[in-house]
Amino acid sequence: MFERLMRRETFIKSAAAGAGALTFGAPAFIPARSEAADRIVLGMTNPLTGTYASLGQGQMRGAQMAVAAWNKRGGVMGREVDLLSEDDAADPGVAVEKARKLVNQGKAVALVGTVSSATTLSVSSAANALGKVFIDMGGSADSMSGKDCKWGSFRTCKTAYQLTHATGFVFQKNFGKRWYMITPDYAFGHGLAAGYTAVAEQAGATIVGNDFTPLGTTEFSSYLLKVQAAKPDVLIVNVSGNDFVSCMKQAQAYNILKNTPVGGPLMELEGLWALPESARMGYWGVEWYFSGDAVLGKKQSAIDFVRQYRKAHGTPPTARSCFGYITVDRLLTAMSETKSTDAVKVARALEGSEFDSPLWSGKAYIRKDDHQMMWPMWVAKVRPSGVPGDKYDTFEDFARVDAERITVPVSEVRKTCTMSYPS
């Protein structure tokens, strides 16, 4: 059964109270809404169970907030927006079934979501076959914006290439040139391994070991014993979700974190907060952060987003929450600007579009050649105990890295990514 994330009665009440709504992402004009207007349905495939459940929940909450904000302003073209969610359990086959269900039964005009890169690629292919726009919130497989690119598929989060090129040189500078990696054995992990291998070659570093681990691994002892024997200058932890929590807890138990610096391509706050303070350490890629001028600047819309999220859920928003919000907001903006839900018109409006981000300091754009959203990322150091008054504020020493410095050049993209729009 679909999970309907925005009820009609909620829309009617909130539309009446629109004067008090947040204004980020608002179009210049919303036409009067007819009570009989059809809803605009967006379909979301997202892991709500399994290894990536907490990450999927963060994305869903951000997406809900974007839908609520648009509906509070009167919807899109005077029509209420509904977000229908299906649990893909990070399984590519399940994700395809759910994507088809959302379109064929739920009447979704576009698809969003995914965390696992494997599900990202499968939903992208399904959306292409269905003739629908799909915006990937959180799957980082490089091929999504390379050989597997599609005219109707877009991506909000960073690519594996971006994550590794933002962090790898920091590891070489701060820790040394002998690296050991623990990596998930699917598209995302293989992209990270390739990215760090390329960075190591440029930085004069050596990867002394890399273990590919099945998604859902709970026992990392055999891999960690190899790390102990190798005595690397840094342990690069590429696994995410529950796998990350298990790996870091066991690395602490083996005293590896005491003796070996640690870091990785990205730190999911959901995982960091699940660790004991003694296992919270290292330098990590940060795709978005809820506190401080380094990411938010003094942007009021971002401050309001964080405040509203904390009020609703009791914890701060994470990067996944940001992905969910920005993805839905950009999709609905394109529909509003084109006054259409037609997939080709919406895709044409998205590609090459520039916008002043509501959730971080500065502008962003969606690159026309590969449909990758271009926005900064950061590298930061873990602050285990947070700060007085906010135990969740667990990062410091932010360094901003602009997207253009860490993204595959357009000249290289054009060698593999070719898009053909429907005639």
Indicate if 104 and 246 belong to the same structural domain.
Answer: no
Indicate if 196 and 186 belong to the same structural domain.
Answer: yes
Whole-angstrom distance, CA of residue 163 vs CA of residue 377: 8
Q: Is residue 359 part of a domain?
A: yes
Query: Range of 230's domain?
Result: 174-286+377-404
Q: Is residue 165 part of a domain?
A: no
Q: Is the pLDDT assigned to residue 81 strictly greater than 70?
A: yes
Indicate if 22 and 33 belong to the same structural domain.
Answer: yes
Indicate if 132 and 34 belong to the same structural domain.
Answer: yes
pLDDT tens per residue across span 97-122:
999 999 999 999 999 999 999 999 99
Q: Is residue 163 part of a domain?
A: no
Average pLDDT of the segment spanning 52-67: 97
Indicate if 192 and 129 belong to the same structural domain.
Answer: no
When pLDDT is cut at 50, 70 and 90, the band that residue 3 belongs to is low
Q: Is residue 241 part of a domain?
A: yes
Q: What is the pLDDT of residue 5?
A: 52
Q: Is the pLDDT assigned to residue 26 strictly greater than 70?
A: no
Is 97 strand, coil or helix? helix
Q: Is residue 417 part of a domain?
A: no
Q: Is the pLDDT assigned to residue 30 strictly greater than 70?
A: no
Q: Which residues pair with 387 in a beta bridge?
A: 390
Least confident of 30-44, 197-211, 221-235: 30-44
When pLDDT is cut at 50, 70 and 90, the band that residue 33 belongs to is very low
Indicate if 263 and 359 belong to the same structural domain.
Answer: no
Q: Is residue 169 part of a domain?
A: no
Indicate if 274 and 394 belong to the same structural domain.
Answer: yes
Average pLDDT of the segment spanning 281-299: 96
Q: Is residue 312 part of a domain?
A: yes
CATH number for the domain spanning 303: value is 3.40.50.2300
Q: Is the pLDDT assigned to residue 27 strictly greater than 70?
A: no
Indicate if 34 and 141 belong to the same structural domain.
Answer: yes
Indicate if 112 and 179 belong to the same structural domain.
Answer: no
pLDDT tens per residue across span 211-252:
999 999 999 999 999 999 999 999 999 999 999 999 999 999
Q: How many structural domains comprise the chain?
A: 2
Average pLDDT of the segment spanning 68-90: 97
Q: Is the pLDDT assigned to residue 378 strictly greater than 80?
A: yes
When pLDDT is cut at 50, 70 and 90, the band that residue 423 belongs to is confident
Average pLDDT of the segment spanning 287-291: 97
Average pLDDT of the segment spanning 295-314: 96
295 near 398, Cβ under 8 Å?
yes
Q: Is the pLDDT assigned to residue 15 strictly greater than 60?
A: no
Q: What is the pLDDT of residue 19?
A: 32
Q: Is the pLDDT assigned to residue 156 strictly greater than 60?
A: yes
Least confident of 10-14, 266-270, 347-351, 374-378: 10-14
Q: Is residue 70 part of a domain?
A: yes
* 422: exposed, middle or buried (Cβ count in 10 Å: 0-12, 13-18, 19+): exposed
Indicate if 90 and 64 belong to the same structural domain.
Answer: yes
Q: What is the 3-state secondary structure (H, E, C) of 98-154?
A: HHHHHHHCCCCCEEEECCCHHHHHHHHHHHHHHCCEEEECCCCCHHHHCCCCCCCEE
Q: What percent of the chain has pLDDT over 90?
A: 91
Q: Is the pLDDT assigned to residue 31 strictly greater than 60?
A: no
279 token code pair:
């296992």
Q: Number of helices and strands (H, E) in the chain?
A: 15, 16
DSSP state string for 306-371: HHHHHHHHSS---HHHHHHHHHHHHHHHHHHHHT---HHHHHHHHTT-EEE-SSSSSEEEE-TTT-
Average pLDDT of the segment spanning 396-409: 95
233 token code pair:
């200058």
158 token code pair:
């960073």
Indicate if 271 and 344 belong to the same structural domain.
Answer: no
Whole-angstrom distance, CA of residue 334 vs CA of residue 329: 9
Helix (H) or strand (E) holding 247: helix 241-253
Q: Is the pLDDT assigned to residue 71 strictly greater than 90?
A: yes
Average pLDDT of the segment spanning 295-302: 95
Indicate if 330 and 400 belong to the same structural domain.
Answer: no
The torsion angle over the Cα atoms of residues 115, 121, 127 and 129, rounded to 10 degrees, is: -160
Residue with more model confidence, 321 or 6: 321
Read off the amino acid at residue 18: G
